[in-house]
């Protein structure tokens, strides 16, 4: 089905921060599978883990205990706010599961009429029906019948509007610490503190969409680590498997009180192969100094992008984001910038507010970052020349 507007290029192999097309051309990959390939392409440690697990056991179903999954859950609990989690296959599934958890929590606490979720303008939470309603983008919702009920959207970083939206049917608040598709739009620490306070005051659950921001991409393990404001529930995916499909929703024990046998399920979720690879990703991410290195190099990249904005203000107007979850707002249409960069040998995804996203693999060193920044500068010079 032609549901994607694919670029006319086919890649036959990847290595680290680079993709190689069938015509032999090499590209600097600052898309990273849209923040999925956390450790780049074909990381030797992940290849080894995938190969070894693939030779032992792929799938058994959730009728039985899964050792790799138990190990992964324990490690994630030790390195997050959560006490418990449910493994699935994607971010959208994680969002749907988290919404079910929130509504079941309210039901278990004698509030069955509480089902509404407050979300935010320019959000993106996936393309399943509830995830689409939580996203709220009319373009994505068109033609699929009435949107799922119970979702409203406030301006980001506006506490007063959120507070006014709470009523006796509100169950929770869903927010991305940094909006990805929306244009690398960050929440403020004070805003997250205010959301936490509102949830505590009214008996709501705070739900973070950490699909983009988790697993070290911002320079800390989780996006919420920058604010120190812990949620009750979080959805995770993307970098979790380093390119292998896996996701999860995780929660405090208190929030997950209603998730008992029979309330949720997934045929493939948490299978030995996926959780084996995800454990290998964690081995690398949790190694001493790894995430700190992402944070340090992210600051370097931020400085380079800010420099481009100062040097080429008629092309680049604003750096956004942190770590390796960054973006640069453009004067030319973002789609044209994406095409120009591809023609120059660099791959980046567009986002809202005329932003192109800059998502290096977390293994990118300063030499790779410099290579990408140099291509961005070539694009700026080309746009400046075309405008004369």
Residues 129-159 have pLDDT tens digits of 999 999 999 999 999 999 999 999 999 999 9
Supply the CATH number for residue 365's domain.
3.90.1150.10
Q: What 3-state class would DSSP assign to 108? A: helix
Q: Are residues 105 and 178 located together in one domain of the fold?
A: yes
Q: Over the Cα atoms of the chain, what is R_g?
A: 21
Residues 222-247 have pLDDT tens digits of 999 999 999 999 999 999 999 999 99
Rounded percentage of the chain residues whose pLDDT exceeds 70: 100
Would residue 5 count as lying in a domain?
no
pLDDT at 352: 97
Angle at which helices 334-343 and 366-387 pack, to 10 degrees?
120
Total domains, the chain: 2
- Tokens matching residue 91: 């971010």
Strand-strand pairing, 151-154 and 170-175: unpaired
**How many distinct helices (H) and strands (E) make up the chain?**
12, 17
Residues 187-219 have pLDDT tens digits of 999 999 999 999 999 999 999 999 999 999 999
* Beta strands, E only, the chain: 11-15, 18-21, 26-29, 84-88, 116-120, 151-154, 170-175, 178-179, 185-186, 205-209, 233-236, 247-251, 316-322, 325-330, 346-347, 350-351, 355-358
Range of the domain at 165: 46-285
Interval 297-304 mean pLDDT: 99
Q: How confident is the model at residue 388 (pLDDT cuts 50, 70, 90)?
A: confident
Q: Are residues 302 and 318 located together in one domain of the fold?
A: yes
Domain boundary among the residues 235, 260, 285 is at 285
């Amino acid at each position: 089905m032609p549901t994607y507007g694919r670029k006319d290029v086919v890649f036959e192999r990847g290595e680290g921060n680079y993709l190689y097309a069938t015509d032999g051309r090499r590209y600097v990959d600052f898309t990273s599978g849209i923040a999925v390939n956390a450790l780049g392409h074909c990381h030797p440690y992940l290849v080894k883990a995938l190969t070894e697990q693939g030779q032992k056991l792929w799938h058994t179903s959730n009728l039985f205990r899964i050792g790799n999954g138990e190990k992964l859950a324990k490690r994630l609990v030790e390195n997050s706010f959560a006490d418990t989690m449910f493994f699935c296959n994607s971010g959208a599934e994680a969002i749907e599961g988290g919404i079910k958890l929130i509504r079941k929590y309210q039901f278990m606490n004698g509030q069955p009429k509480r089902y509404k979720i407050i979300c935010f303008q320019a959000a993106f939470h996936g393309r399943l029906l509830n995830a689409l309603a939580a996203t709220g983008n009319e373009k994505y919702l068109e033609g699929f019948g009435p949107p799922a009920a119970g979702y409203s959207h406030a301006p980001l970083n506006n506490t007063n509007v959120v507070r006014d939206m709470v009523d006796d049917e509100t169950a929770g608040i869903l927010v991305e610490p940094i909006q990805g598709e929306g244009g690398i739009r960050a929440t403020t620490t004070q805003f997250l503190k205010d959301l936490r306070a509102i949830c505590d005051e009214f008996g709501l659950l705070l739900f973070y969409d950490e699909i983009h921001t988790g697993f070290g991409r911002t320079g800390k393990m989780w996006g919420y680590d920058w604010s120190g404001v812990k949620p009750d529930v979080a959805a995770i995916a993307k970098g979790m498997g380093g390119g292998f499909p896996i996701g999860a929703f995780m929660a405090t024990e208190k929030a997950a009180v209603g998730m008992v046998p029979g309330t949720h399920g997934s045929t493939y979720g948490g299978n030995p192969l996926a959780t084996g690879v995800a454990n290998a990703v964690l081995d690398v991410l949790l190694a001493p100094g790894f995430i700190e290195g992402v944070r340090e190099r992210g600051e370097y990249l931020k400085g380079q992008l800010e420099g481009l904005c100062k040097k080429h203000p008629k092309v680049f107007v604003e750096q956004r984001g942190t770590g390796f979850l960054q973006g640069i707002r453009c004067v030319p249409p973002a789609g044209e910038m994406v095409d120009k960069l591809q023609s120059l040998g660099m791959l980046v995804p567009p986002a809202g507010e005329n932003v192109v996203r800059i998502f290096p693999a977390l293994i990118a060193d300063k030499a790779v970052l410099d290579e990408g920044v140099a291509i961005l500068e070539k694009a700026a010079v080309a746009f400046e020349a075309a405008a004369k």
